[in-house]
Amino acid sequence: MLVFDALLAGALIWLAWQATHTPGLFRSVISFIVFGLLMALAWVRLEAPDIALAEAAIGAGATGALLLSALGRLAVTHEAGTPWQERPDLYFWIPAGAALLGLLTLAAWALPTPGLGDDVRRVLPDSGVANPVTAVLLNIRAFDTLLEIGVLLLATIAIWSLGRMPMPSAPAVRSPALTALGRVLFPMFVLVSAYLLWRGSHAPGGAFPAGAVVGAGGILSILAGAQPWLTGGVRGPWRILLSLGFATMLAVAWGVMALGQPFFAYPPGLAGLIVLVLELAAGLSIAMSLVALYLAGQPPDHWGPEAARR
């Protein structure tokens, strides 16, 4: 397995170099997408299947779609000269960088080994789920996840505030196969994500990969020319779905206080149910946010030919 690890590490380094330092933006973006896919393999080798699922769906899938659509919308995609600037002050920065890296290595060496595994295992029976990562995400450190959903919501608000989404959202010449495929595949996306969500309570899976899979399905159907019933209007359902995860988590955090518990400490008997509700709400919000991030602007109040003309 050491040979496999070494090959994987070599490929990752080569792809990272391709993505950041070789000429040709399209090539860089493709290298980065492959880099994300290989990272998913590295996560599996590091015994982190939850992260591997999320990386494959979010890191490689959603980021790849974002990068490619941004590349297509860029006005200038050719680079003048070399991809990087010539620095005259290299003689200062190379030793300074090496010193910084050395100090960081020393600091990492002196770090205590993370030893929270025992603590997590001890409280796992009370957390309502059997998968330790889900327990940490939605019960033990639910506050972090609340802030994370908040960041996702904030990113969507920031993008919507930039103005209307660029039109058209689908390719001008659309392949008929894509439309048919999108119709067939979207129910499969929903099915897979429901399975991942249900699985998250006892095995790798959960709200993040599930939300990402539905989000990817949404992006695919928009590419295939679908006109969603969801609109970006002031009272549109999209806004409710976007804020559903954040609002539900906040409501639960305060709601348990009414039952005499501290902030985000679930009553023992209800923990499993609460985690399930939070996973559903967070998964929906993640899916809708990913589609909104892909659209790169506020969706129109009405989808249709008149939206494309504006």
Partner 1 sequence: MIYLVLAGVLFVIGLHGLFVARHLLRKILSLNVLSAAVFLFLVALARQAEPLDSVPHAIVLTGIVVSVSTTAVALALLVRLSRPRGNNAAPAGKESR
Q: Which is nearer to partner 1, 155 or 180 (CB)?
A: 155
Q: Which is nearer to partner 1, 76 or 258 (CB)?
A: 76
Q: Which is nearer to partner 1, 152 or 280 (CB)?
A: 152
Q: Which is nearer to partner 1, 88 or 269 (CB)?
A: 88
Provide DSSP, 143-161. Answer: HHHHHHHHHHHHHHHHHHT
Helix (H) or strand (E) holding 32: helix 25-45
Give min distance, CB of 99 to partner 1, in A: 13
Contact between 205 and 197 (Cβ < 8 Å): yes
Contact between 61 and 216 (Cβ < 8 Å): yes
Q: Which residues of 236-252 are buried (b: 16+ CB within 10 A; e: fewer)?
A: eebbebbbbbbebbeeb
Among candidate residues 292, 270, 3, 21, the one with its CA nearest the CA of residue 155: 292
Give min distance, CB of 184 to partner 1, in A: 27
Give min distance, CB of 251 to partner 1, in A: 20
Q: Hey, what are 101's tokens? A: 């890296």
Give min distance, CB of 227 to partner 1, in A: 17
Give min distance, CB of 254 to partner 1, in A: 21
Q: Which is nearer to partner 1, 151 or 188 (CB)?
A: 151
